[in-house]
A and B are shown apart, each in its own frame.
Chain A
Amino acid sequence: MKDGWMQRLRDELAQAWAVMAKDIKVYYLFPGMIMTGLLSPFFMFFSFSVRREMGATQGVARLLAMTIFFTAAAAGPFIIPLERRLGTYDRLLAAPMSLLTLLLGKTAVGAVLSIAISAVSLAIGVVVFGASIAQPWLLAAGVFLGSFSFSALGLIFGSIPTRNPGDVAMPSLLLRWGLLFVSGVFIPLAEMAPVARALAYLSPLTYAQDLMNHAVQGMGLLNPWLDLALLLLMGILFLVPSVKMHQRSRKLGY
């Protein structure tokens, strides 16, 4: 019985891996996407640092948080509606794996992309701007959990019962831009009004930004373990509406 359960778990993990590897090959590994991935951190850094009095370490901490946030959910929300339209999503839904496995595979795609581009951002920060990293292991854990959490957030939009990728573009963008302004990226958490800070605590980006501050600058507002725990918890919670919406899609016929 235990062997059967273990075998099933191994199978499900292998299937999530297969979904992730396929998505990377189909949607990410082409020259335009790779160039965008390599160049976007540069543009992001310059757009938020030009004419501002910002040190290299502070800039790199912000750059990393934003890179994780934007890249983890960049394409994920659009892939599922596109696959629904092409009929390829039925292939995945009909396969012998749980819905959670499928969603984990899809979440992993965005997370891997985010980790890869964060590595580029980090290299730019260290090599070009001479930033140093105060706590490398915290950085690695933060990038990993932040990527997972933001990718799961993006997947909620991908799970909306629709076959039109355009239907998810607007709500996905609105939420991401909204979170950017309330999460302590532009205004440090300590300087926020109490109401704004209460709002900031609802955003996963707040904890990612605080973690990056700890990891790069060696100081943050919250306990870094709390940041890590909340990012993990939010990542898991973000999967719940995706599961619910997929169950609804199965009733509606999407």
Chain B
Amino acid sequence: MNNAIEVDNLTKYYGDLLAVDHISFEVKQGEIFGFLGPNGAGKTTTQRMLTTLLEPTEGRIVINGHDLARDAYPVKRQTGLVPEESNVYAELTAWDNLMFTARLYRVPRAERAERARELLETFGLWEKRDVKVENFSKGMRRRLSIAMAIIHKPSLLFLDEPTPGLDAQSARAIRDLICQLNAEGPALSGAEGTTIFLTTHQIEEANQLCDRVAIINHGRIAAIDTPERLKRAFRRVQSVEVALEPDGRETSRVSETLEVSLAVLPGVTTSVKMGDKWRLYTEDPSALLPQVMDYARSQKLRVVSLSTLGPSLEDVFLEITGQQVGTVRHETNKRQGAGGRRGGRR
């Protein structure tokens, strides 16, 4: 399989600040490639260099066989860009936005209207085609922004944080569209399965959508693999999740005892309270399970639920980015309440 993107030793300095530190990676044609990292890690800087918007300090970028530094024109014709902020013209209608982009990308005159109609219908905006975009919701702008990015049928699409700030329904619709674009290239983008470079800090989104994921931290690629292989490589962040109920005793006092007792069970690396449950991180969940049961029996506690969890991509991400599993989760949990868990249950 040919590479859609080849990046070699890519580096970007802003003055003395090293934003991207000699990174190298490849993206295969037809793949959804996730570029994952915390805020300020260098994701958007990398993406801006890949889309010619930012000049690298050092390194080489080859897209679809063209060296970006020498031959950007054919690359620009073959790529589409959906930036973090939906950069649509609010003063124009959805139709005018699409027609302008079609002219800019030299879509043949005879095909422009048909293509615009097809995209507006696919993205559920046909009825709003004559409405000025300033009256659109954030989700509608996002959909229009994606439609504008693929009107010229690019073989490679860059998506920067496509779903933050959207309601659950709109975010789901965008994710479905990304999958559809990747799987049914000819129908939507015209290419044979559009390659997608997805920049995101939403771990579960990357887990759901991406064939492979690169995790960037402090400007460096910390890991790059399929989500499942990444999770397997981090066995130490497996866990046992248990909910225990006191047998007639005061709940708060039991909770205090549990905090100490569960954390010192053999094999537990970290324990985190998550709502009414405790998550005990361990390298060997099967060895920990009987110990938890023994402890519950000895303390006359009722086991409400007990399950083992594989490492989620979020756990892997936190490990790689040097944030202790548990600490961050605990803080997230405090902020969001019991529903704050984002990691995938396995």
Which residues of chain A (92-111) have a CB below 8 Å from chain B?
92-98
Q: Is the interface of A mostly helix, strand, loop or mixed?
A: helix
Which residues of chain A (109-159) have a CB below 8 Å from chain B?
none
Partner of B105, one of A19, A96, A250: A96
Cβ contact within 8 Å between B106 and A96: yes
Partner of A90, one of B45, B81, B101: B81
Residues on A with C-beta less than 8 A from B91 are 25-27
Q: A14-B103, A18-B103, A26-B89 are in contact. Are A94 and B55 (CB under 8 A)?
A: no
A-B interface pairs (CB < 8 A), number: 70
Which range contains the number of A residues in contact with the other chain? 20 to 34
Interface string of B83-118 (1 = CB under 8 A from A): 101111101100010001101111000000000000
Q: A88-B87, A96-B77 are in contact. Are A250 and B53 (CB under 8 A)?
A: yes
Cβ contact within 8 Å between B14 and A95: no
Cβ contact within 8 Å between A93 and B52: yes
Residues on B with C-beta less than 8 A from A253 are 14, 45, 48, 54
Partner of B83, one of A14, A87, A97, A251: A87
Q: Nearest CB to that of B104 among chain A residues? A: A95
State how many angstroms separate the Cβ of B156 from the closest Cβ of chain A.
Answer: 12
On chain B, the number of residues with a Cβ less than 8 Å from chain A's Cβ atoms is 30
Cβ contact within 8 Å between B96 and A25: yes
Q: A87-B87, A94-B81 are in contact. Are A15 and B53 (CB under 8 A)?
A: no
Cβ contact within 8 Å between B92 and A14: no
Sampled A-B contacts (19; CB under 8 Å)? A14-B103, A14-B106, A15-B104, A22-B89, A22-B92, A22-B100, A25-B92, A26-B92, A86-B85, A87-B86, A87-B87, A88-B89, A91-B87, A91-B101, A93-B53, A94-B52, A94-B81, A97-B104, A251-B54
User: B-side interface residues toward A, CB under 8 Å?
Assistant: 14, 45, 48, 51-55, 73-74, 76-77, 79, 81, 83, 85-89, 91-92, 96, 100-101, 103-106, 148
- A sample of 12 more A-B contacts (CB under 8 A), given A86-B87, A250-B53, is A14-B103, A14-B106, A22-B92, A22-B100, A25-B91, A25-B92, A26-B89, A87-B86, A91-B81, A96-B73, A96-B104, A253-B48
